Structure 1
């Protein structure tokens, strides 16, 4: 529990920390690395044969990060019994003062002295794990106010609509969760709790449904209704995970193929741009010239070459270039939402490409530079 008296779950804590120490990592990998930072043992977290987390699949680890799956009491006991905050504290302490201040605000420990923040973070982490290990349950909180509904819509509305493809997920309904006004579609839905005995403000316990179904379920929700809603939620999450995995696997293959081509490119295959990269210049303010100066030579030397690679993939493979570019842009937008500096975003995307390809980091930076010029990464500076 933080100093505001709000209960943080493992998923809340890990998603907050991801913005500061996990950039470039896949979510499942970050969960393992986060746990390894608080692990005590001479053999190391990744070597202990009794470590239950190393046997878990990507879907389960991703579920821990997103909050759709819960760490068991038994596994929480394993973490608690091997807890050592030394490396974790060092990791937090390595952040800049500004980042530490932002982290304190997000965790709800604003009154904590910045020098003491790393230890406080470790205390919060241990408390979360201890609560799980002891089987402690959160108090029931009812969602029955307009302000609560609005808060949830702002926080989770888009994700919940994407989860059900903007259709009421109850099989007997399936109405669109929007209304058409002239040429626009306006959202028309309500968020309901699945199980009133569980925390109301966690995405795993929420569904977006049409107002008519919401009224019926809020008026009277039987045990059978709860079980049915749980199954609907489970099925949608499973479909979403399968879809995300397939999309992630495809983009990894495409990124890897491009980076391998860049790494093995012969000098004779490269033709430099015969003009100054205009789009690139629009992305940076005068004070951001260091990053611009770093990216520009790569764009000049490799932009035409990478354009040609993409054209070949369209002609020779079943390659959807528009979808591929959209996936890259989605990676950028997720990082942009974390409100971090451009240099950190660029390094995170380059690191993500490098993790996907497991080859040249320089080639990963070259590819990231290409997407800056072709507008998938960074917006025009005047629009920010």
Structure 2
């Protein structure tokens, strides 16, 4: 047996405590690790094959022994594993947190370099869960799965920037308003799964419908066509100046990482009400140029920002509700001063830029995101 095969799932959960948080109960820590490892399709949420449906008693027992880790639950996790997401969350942890995880793994006989922590934890998880699920995986297939996950972790942000919120295949929006939340719905797929390593040019972003048609044994003609479509999108984005992986993308990542520096005020007296998104043109009616700027920012960066915020909240580096409350409070303050929509937008952008030491242009993209989800500007009463 390899060292990874000797490690139990409960050992991995304990090793990850510096990341999941010591304030959680034993069962909650198991649930947190399962959440980090999975991305449950919408049609499985709340069903018997949703890993989140495991009872608290089962999760509590799993924190100390793998005896309660059933084959059924292992298969539910295995079927919706997102190891790229898992690696990204570990990559995003503070250096001190990662070092403590390394130290914890050492206690179980796993010696890990800090720069390979994400992959090694993913390998442990995949090895344990596939074995529990009765899924036979050769060392080569495990290595291929981890290489694919690392490729996703390294390139997800840039891929979401490149697609600009649209499916590469059919051009439809990757943002759904089904539940009134403006949720990004997409899949990142390998263009050709028969490669040994995955870089930016080896992935494509599609809507769930196109992804379902493409991902099961695409023909060579399909692979060639999708590569051509990706190249065309790449050229278009470069021409429009929307894809700047070495500049604006990094600035957005840094801004979102620094968003805690806004200097939160006490807004506990406010009630957060998630508002159903309405078209931007219905909310930004005073200034056509501002409406176009916000629309362009939302169409280009919404999925990227939403995915990044989700990752930050899952790694306990951001409270989304607290940020919502702060943005809405600032908006109401400026609106109460009688400022125009353009003035409010600029004030909010400057406020974020000043507190996070970022450019106003970068901050304005985040403000546009909050316009989209209706925390900034409101549609006129009907």
- TM-score normalised by length of structure 2: 0.30
CA radius of gyration, larger in: 1
- TM-score normalised by length of structure 1: 0.30
